[in-house]
Amino acid sequence: MDEEIELAFTLNGKAVRRRVPVRLHAVDLLREVFGLSGPRVACEHGICGACTLRVDGQLARGCLLLAPQLEGTDVWTIEGLTATGEIADLQNEFHARNAMQCGWCTAGMLITAAEILDAPAPMDRQAIREHLSGNYCRCTGYQAIVDAVEATRQARAAGRSAA
Amino acid sequence: MKAAGFRFLRARCVAEALALKAEHGEDARFIAGGQSLVPALNLRLLEPRALIDIAGLPELTGIRVERGRLVIGALTRHAALTGDPLVAAHAPLLLEALPYVAHAAIRNRGTFGGSIALADPAAEWPACCLALDATMVLTGPHAEGERRVPATEFFRGLYATALGPDDLLLRVEIPCQPAGTRNAALELARRHGDFAIVGVAATASDRELKDARIAFFGVADRPMRFAEVERALAVEGVSAAAEALARQVDPPADLYHSAATKRHLAGVLLRRAVDRLRGAA
Ligand SMILES: Cc1cc2nc3c(=O)[nH]c(=O)nc-3n(C[C@H](O)[C@H](O)[C@H](O)COP(=O)(O)OP(=O)(O)OC[C@H]3O[C@@H](n4cnc5c(N)ncnc54)[C@H](O)[C@@H]3O)c2cc1C
Ligand code: FES
Ligand code: FES
């Protein structure tokens, strides 16, 4: 029998509590126990970024976090970020530019890119690529993804200076 | 793949961590950020029966200056070095190396001490510690109090260090670099943020480079300084140093790069690092 723990944390803004096996990593936990299919499992050893989550306001690899390490944390998945509208502009740019094909990398890409949308320092395409370097996309060739992130950054910056 | 089952034990202080380790022995592993350990669990390269979570140990956190030394707690996350004024003032080499350490998501969880304890031969921090003449401070069940091990004696081989299986790394102490010290951290990797093919971490007190300390990583089973290379650089200049390096370095081939390629790349990085130390690049 797998060892279990009573786990309490905040998921997409709501307090949750559940008895769960300790050996689950965060993506399996979110998918299997909480029914969220946004976080993806792919390599399961930290290489590809498909599992990327926002934990306590920071990017984290879902496949490299064990269930007990989520105790007391504030976890956001693409479902939550979509519901709040925080990255609706980025999602629209992804859609408009076909920055996804199979979609396996998309949630991780969006969550990772969300970190730099408001970064005030200028970021050239190389800097955007470096920020996204931990996220593999096997389909798009990245150009459209970088385009979408760059366009969203520019639109937000224009919005700020107009305000 | 999925990790095999284990018990998850949370330690609240160093004494408790050591006691848990003594109780569970070889079947147990310490877990800090988990950014190297969890991949190994998921791949079932390791199947420990118990994980002892040390992430909450208050004694192992924080960055401070004490008696002329920059002290970095083992649990300091890579990302916590970003913009830290003490690190910027006293060991700026670390900030040059930081962007090469993994990817943002991994830097947010992985720890400085975890990287030192793991001692991946292609990792940045062990090489920086060697270049900066750092001292590792450890404790364990058998040692009376703390043990201090200089970087030159700490890294012993492939993933092998002076840490015994039941020892804890507490902190790393780095002599504060005088203002004006020159630094260079450079590496080549297939993808930005991945472990280096070959890298270099170097420091010198001025642009004369009479006392440069040049640590290479990814070229052997542990970070390496080559006395002959540093001497040749001080006495004859960069070409002689590059020749000495080509004679001395004997890198293991990896999946993608032959030993000859790595030897060549080490020479390329040496020249770039020297340019940087001299301020030409
Ligand atoms: C895709 C990917 C890319 C990466 N790229 C790089 C890179 O370019 N450069 C780099 O340096 N690292 C890289 N890493 C590894 C990362 O930096 C890890 O965070 C680090 O190596 C280990 O730190 P941790 O806190 O996660 O340790 P853990 O994974 O928790 O532990 C690693 C090992 O060290 C032991 N340990 C940890 N802390 C202590 C302690 N205080 N005392 C005694 N033993 C301890 C554990 O028992 C375990 O055996 C990468 C990781 C991934 C997944
Ligand atoms: S599934 Fe987590 S990084 Fe690939
Ligand atoms: S859209 Fe298929 S992996 Fe990115």
Residues near A137 by Cβ (< 8 Å), separated by ≥ 6? Answer: A105, A109, A145
Residue A125 lies in a domain: yes
The whole-angstrom separation of Cα A84 and Cα A10 is 15
Note whether residue A13 is domain-resident: yes
Pairwise CB contact (< 8 Å): A49 & B104 = no
B167 confidence band (pLDDT: 50, 70, 90): very high
Both tokens of A70, joined, read 């989520």
Class of residue B277 by CB neighbours under 10 A (exposed 0-12, middle 13-18, buried 19+): buried
Ligand that lies nearest to the alpha carbon of residue B60, given by its number in the listed order: 1
Do residues A101 and A120 share a domain?
A: yes
pLDDT at A124: 95
Mean pLDDT of B230-235: 97
Overall pTM surpassing 0.90 (yes/no): yes
A64 touches chain B (CB under 8 A): yes
Q: Which pLDDT band, with edges at 50, 70 and 90, does B281 fall under?
A: very low
Confidence check: pLDDT of A163 > 80: no
B39–A22 C-beta distance less than 8 A: no
* B105 pLDDT above the threshold of 50: yes
Cα Rg of chain A, angstroms: 16
Q: How high is the pLDDT of residue A1?
A: 62
Our answer on whether the CB atom of A70 is closer than 6 Å to any ligand 2 atom is no
Question: Which of A81, A103, A123 lies at the terminal end of a domain, its last residue?
Answer: A81
Question: Could you state, in order of their start, the residue ranges of all structural domains in chain B?
Answer: 7-53, 58-175, 182-278
Residues A18, A67, single domain; the answer is: yes
Q: Has residue A163 been placed in a domain?
A: no
Listed residues A58, A81, A104: the one ending a domain: A81
Looking at the fold, whether A60 and A31 belong to one and the same domain comes out as yes
Question: What's the B73 CA to ligand 1 centre distance in angstroms?
Answer: 14
Note whether residue A148 is domain-resident: yes
The count of domains in chain A is 2
Distance A27 CA to ligand 3 centre (A): 18
What CATH number does residue A8 fall under? 3.10.20.30
CB contact under 8 A, B38 and A46: yes
User: Distance, CA B141 to ligand 2 centroid (Å)?
Assistant: 36
* CA–CA dist B37, B167 (Å, integer): 16
Answer yes or no: do A21 and A34 share one domain. yes
List the B50-53 sheet strands across, edge first: B7-10, B50-53, B28-31
Query: If you classify domain B7-53 with CATH, what class do you get?
Result: alpha beta
Q: Is residue A67 situated within a structural domain?
A: yes
Q: Quick: pLDDT tens for A56-107.
A: 999 999 999 999 999 999 999 999 999 999 999 999 999 999 999 999 999 9
Q: Is A141 in the pocket of ligand 3 (CB under 6 A)?
A: no
Domain residue limits at A153:
86-157
Q: Is the pLDDT of residue B143 over 70?
A: no
Mutate to test the interface with B, among A5, A27, A32, A44 (most CBs of B within 10 A): A44
- For residue B102, the chain A residues in CB contact (below 8 A) are 134
Domain stop point among A56, A81, A106: A81
Same domain, A8 and A74: yes
pLDDT, position A47: 95
Q: Which residue in A6, A61, A126 has the most chain B C-beta atoms within 10 A of its own C-beta, making it the best mutation to test that interface?
A: A61
Mean pLDDT rounded to a whole number for chain B: 95
Assess if residue A96 is contained within a domain: yes
Task: State whether CATH 3.30.465.10 applies to domain B58-175.
Answer: yes
Chain A residue with the nearest C-alpha to that of B54:
A69
Structure tokens at B63: 């960055």
Domain B182-278 fold: Enolase-like; domain 1 (3.30.390)
Identify which ligand lies nearest to the alpha carbon of B104: 1
What is the strand order of the sheet B213-217 is part of? Answer: B182-188, B198-204, B213-217, B224-225
The yes-or-no verdict on residue B144 having pLDDT over 80 is: no
Tell whether A8 and A77 lie within a shared domain. Answer: yes
Q: pLDDT by residue (tens digit) across A110-149?
A: 999 999 998 888 899 999 999 999 999 999 999 999 999 9
- Kindly state whether residue A91 falls inside one of the protein's structural domains: yes
Query: pLDDT tens for residues B44-82?
Result: 999 999 999 999 998 899 999 999 999 999 999 999 999
Tens-place pLDDT, residues A5-33: 999 999 999 999 999 999 999 999 999 99
Same domain, A65 and A114: no
Q: Is the pLDDT of residue B31 over 70?
A: yes
Contact between residue B242 and residue B270 where contact means Cβ atoms under 8 Å apart: yes
Q: In this structure, what CATH number is given to the domain that contains residue A147?
A: 1.10.150.120
Determine the pLDDT at residue B280. 59
